[in-house]
Structure 1
Amino acid sequence: MDQKINVFVWDMDETLVLLKSLITGTYAKAFNGSKDVQKGIEIGKTWENQILRICDDYFFYEQIEGCNKPFVDVMREYDDELDLTDYDFKNDGFVGASFNDDDNKRKLAYRHRIIAQKYKEGLRSVFGEKMIKSWDNLYQETDDFTDKWLSSAKACVAECASGNKDSIPDGISDSTSSRVQNVNVIVTSGSLIPSLVKCLLFRLDDLFSYDNVYSSWEVGKYKCFSLIKERFNGANVQFCAIGDGWEECEAAENMQWPFVQIDPGPVSTSHRFPGLTFETLGHYIGVIYGDSDDDDDDDDE
Structure 2
Amino acid sequence: MNKLSDVTSAHWSLTTAPFTGERNIKVTNVYIWDMDETLILLKSLLDGTYAQAFGGTKDSSKGIEIGKLWEKLILQVCDEYFFYEQIEDYNEPFLSFLSDYDDGKDLSGCDFTNDGLGFPYDDSNKRKLAYRHRAIANKYTKGLHNLLDQNMIKQWEDLYKLTDDYTDGWLSSGHALLEQTSGKEKTSSQPVTTESSHGNTGMKCQDINVLVTSGSLIPSLVKCMLFRLDDQIIHENVYSSWEVGKLQCFSWIRSRLGGESVRFCVIGDGVEECEAAERMCWPFIKIDFVPNAPLRLPGLTPRLIQHYLEVIYGPSYTDRDPEGQ
The TM-score normalised by the length of structure 2 is: 0.86
Residue 110 of structure 1 aligns with an amino acid whose one-letter code is: Y
User: Structure 2 CA distance, aligned partners of 1:173 and 1:94?
Assistant: 54
Shift of 1:86: 1.0
Alignment correspondent of 1:48: 71
- In structure 2, runs of 5+ residues without a counterpart are 1-21, 184-191
Q: Percent of aligned pairs with the same residue?
A: 57
For 2:155, what is the secondary structure of its paired residue? helix
1:93 equivalent in alignment to 2:124: no
2:270 is matched with which residue: 245, 252, 265? 245
Task: Answer whether contact 2:37 2:44 (CA < 8 A) is retained.
Answer: yes
* SS of corresponding position for 2:239: strand
Matches within 5 A, 1:193-212: 193-212=218-237
Aligned pairs (5 A) from 1:155-166: 155-162=176-183, 166=195
Matched-pair contact (CA < 8 Å) for 1:70–1:216: yes
CA distance change for structure 1 residues 26 and 59 in 2, over 3 Å: closer, same or farther? same
Please name the residue that 1:143 is paired with: 164
Of 281, 287, 294, the match for 2:305 = 281
After superposition, the C-alpha distances for 1:77-103 in whole angstroms (9 at most, x for unaligned) are 1111111111111111110xx322111
* Equivalent residue, structure 1, for 2:45: 22
Residues 44 and 50 of structure 2 are in contact (CA less than 8 Å); yes or no, is this contact kept in structure 1? yes
Task: Name 2:147's counterpart in structure 1.
Answer: 126
- Please give the alpha-carbon distance, in whole angstroms, between the structure 1 residues aligned to 2:197 and 2:138: 35
Q: What residue identity is the alignment partner of 1:149?
A: W
Which residue type is aligned with residue 158 of structure 1?
E
Name the aligned partner's letter for residue 239 of structure 1.
F
* Aligned counterpart in structure 2 of residue 58 of structure 1, from 81, 102, 117: 81
Q: Can you list the C-alpha shifts for 1:23-79, whole angstroms capped at 9, x where unaligned?
A: 000100111110000000000000011001111111111111111111001111111
Partner of 1:186: 211
- Residues 108-146 of structure 1 deviation map (CA, whole Å, 9 limit, x = unaligned): 100000000000111111112222111111100000000
Q: 1:112 to 1:79 in 2, by over 3 A?
A: same
Q: Closer, same or farther in 2 for the Cα pair 1:225/1:173, shift >3 Å?
A: farther
Match of 1:263?
288
The Cα of 1:169 is off from its aligned counterpart by 3.9
Residue 259 (structure 2) aligns with: 234
**C-alpha separation between the residues in 1 aligned to 2:153 and 2:161?**
12
Q: What residue in structure 1 maps to residue 91 of structure 2? A: 68
Cα RMSD (Å):
2.0
Q: Relative CO higher for 1 or 2, CA cutoff 8 Å, sep ≥ 6?
A: 2
Partner of 2:34 in structure 1? 11
Gaps of 5+ in 1: none
Secondary structure of the residue aligned to 2:206 is strand
Q: 1:279 to 1:24 in 2, by over 3 A?
A: same
Counterpart-to-counterpart distance in 1, 2:250 and 2:133: 22
Residue 248 of structure 2: aligned partner: 223
Equivalent pair of 2:268/2:286 in contact (CA under 8 Å): yes
Q: Distance in 2 between matches of 1:147 and 1:295?
A: 34
> What is the distance in 1 between the residues matched to 2:126 and 2:210?
26
Distance 2:66 2:239 in 1: 26
Counterpart residue type for residue 86 of structure 1: G
Amino acid at match of 1:188: T
Aligned length: 292
Runs of 4+ off more than 6 Å: 295-298
